[in-house]
Chains A and B, each alone.
Chain A
Amino acid sequence: MGKTIGVLALQGGFEAHAKILRGLGHAVREVRAAADLTDGGGLDGLVFPGGESSTMLKLIGFSGLWEPLDAFVRGGHPVLATCAGMILAATGVSGPEQASFGWLDVDVTRNGWGRQVHSFEAVSDDGAVRLVFIRAPRLTRIGAGVTVLHRFEGEPITVRQGNVVAASFHPELADEPALHAIAFGG
């Protein structure tokens, strides 16, 4: 049975996520305002896509989305957060410091894998996931309650804590539904 998954569509790679979710049989709703979380029936999950985390934070502030998004995620709904999304979900952000929701007990450094000329494609250490890294955040601390799902060159790149799955890379750009399936089923 397909679910209705929201994709935060303030800015960034939301369309690529929507395409993968539809491929898994889910309906997709773009979320730009608090009403999008509830109107037309509640959502069964939410994607925080890649893009520029600082831009998303501004728009979340301009649109009064902080509280509704925080309540939705803390309410236990399944969440997938990729790249900039992982930065928003983290507890601590450096390079530079900026506000974050703290749903995941991890620390990240923005652009920790370098500028665009250092962006790359690879495969996770276990061979399970194709990786597209674009000015990606680097996980610098993993809290006790956090499970590491995938690693690259020994470093954690995909993590899970309760209802939140997060990746420092872009599964949506590799046309791979594996992480979406982990987060939402399908």
Chain B
Amino acid sequence: MEKSTFRVKVGLAEMLKGGVIMDVVNAEQARIAEDAGATAVMALERVPAQIRKDGGVARASDPEMIQAIQKTVNIPVMAKCRIGHFMEARILEALEVDFIDESEVLTPADEEFHIDKHGFKTPFVCGCTDLGEALRRIGEGAAMLRTKGEAGTGNIVEGVRHLRTLRTQIRRLSVLGHEELMTEAKKLGAPYALVEEVAKAGKLPVPNFAAGGIATPADAALCMALGAEAVFVGSGIFLSDDPARRARAIVEAATYWEDPKRLAEVSKGLGAAMAGIEMGTLNESDRLAKRGW
């Protein structure tokens, strides 16, 4: 028996495809998420929009809260650690969370190095804004990626940008000649072996989900149509008027994203979505997607 192989780590990501991973801040929200059909929950003390509002340093969550959520639900429980904070990650591993998100939503602990994720039994998911960043994280051992979008804004524009960038760059690789790949690897700042692999397969070697700014069923469906294999919804559910209904509607949207009639049906009467933030009003220093490299 061989535990925690890369295949087993990526395997859990495979099993989450077509689903919705929801941010929850307590056991009660976790129960609502599971009842609505979430494939997993992300346990954290404050959703990104609240972190944005409160300011200050955002850190990994209280283990007691994470354990309360683990006791409440049977779907996988994920938790976030700060970029580069391998000690927070070890604590999350000791708690046996099912996935660790090395996340730009928390305040980075290391501005130069991300965590060496190969050294963990727990699989990691990391954010990316383009192909180079995606492949650097996979090189470090990430078993799943998510485009960053701009968390806590309820605005899908950055998520769309990142998904489109990724898709265009992958398509570009797949038409380049083999002799062009090393130069491309240099430009992307990505490991050559992974660049070769993507060029050959025409897709990333691990699943890529979308995150950041998803607030409606239509947002979730848009991300799926742009190549995301599942979606993370952070502030979008529990900061809306009717979290249970919106959660269920987004779950249906992630499965039936190719069926506009069904999307119209599930989008009816959901009440107000979270209040959003227009990107032009955000200071550069408040852009979470710029954290990490």
Interface residues of A, Cβ cutoff 8 Å to B = 9-16, 32, 50-52, 54-55, 58-59, 62, 83-84, 95-96, 110-111, 115-122, 132-135, 170, 173-174
Residue with the greatest number of chain B CB neighbours at <10 A, chosen from A11, A84, A96, A173: A11
Residues of chain A lying within 8 A (CB to CB) of residue B58: none
Interface residues of B, Cβ cutoff 8 Å to A = 1-5, 7-8, 11-12, 14-19, 34-40, 74-76, 93, 96, 98-99, 121-123, 248, 251-252, 254-256
In the bound complex, CA of A10 to CA of B1 (Å): 31
CB atoms of A116 and B17 under 8 A apart: no
Residue with the greatest number of chain A CB neighbours at <10 A, chosen from B1, B15, B16: B15
CB atoms of A120 and B3 under 8 A apart: yes
A9 to chain B, nearest CB (A): 7
In the bound complex, CA of A45 to CA of B172 (Å): 38
CB atoms of B7 and A173 under 8 A apart: yes
Partner of A9, one of B18, B37, B76: B18
A109 to chain B, nearest CB (A): 11
Residues of chain A lying within 8 A (CB to CB) of residue B251: 55, 58-59
Residues of chain B lying within 8 A (CB to CB) of residue A170: 11
Q: How many contacting A-B pairs (Cβ < 8 A)?
A: 121
Partner of A116, one of B12, B35, B252: B12
CB atoms of A117 and B18 under 8 A apart: no
In the bound complex, CA of A110 to CA of B251 (Å): 22
Partner of A52, one of B8, B15, B122: B15
Residue with the greatest number of chain A CB neighbours at <10 A, chosen from B12, B19, B36, B254: B19
CB atoms of B34 and A120 under 8 A apart: no
CB atoms of A120 and B4 under 8 A apart: yes
In the bound complex, CA of A132 to CA of B6 (Å): 11
Residues of chain A lying within 8 A (CB to CB) of residue B75: 52, 54-55
Given contacts A13-B17, A14-B18, contact A134 B121 (CB under 8 A): no
Partner of A118, one of B3, B36, B38, B40: B3
CB atoms of B17 and A115 under 8 A apart: no
Partner of A111, one of B7, B19, B74, B123: B74
Nearest 3 CB-CB pairings of A with B = A58-B37, A116-B98, A11-B18
Partner of B74, one of A14, A16, A83, A95: A95
Residues of chain A lying within 8 A (CB to CB) of residue B255: 9-11, 32, 59
Residues of chain B lying within 8 A (CB to CB) of residue A133: 8
CB atoms of B14 and A116 under 8 A apart: no
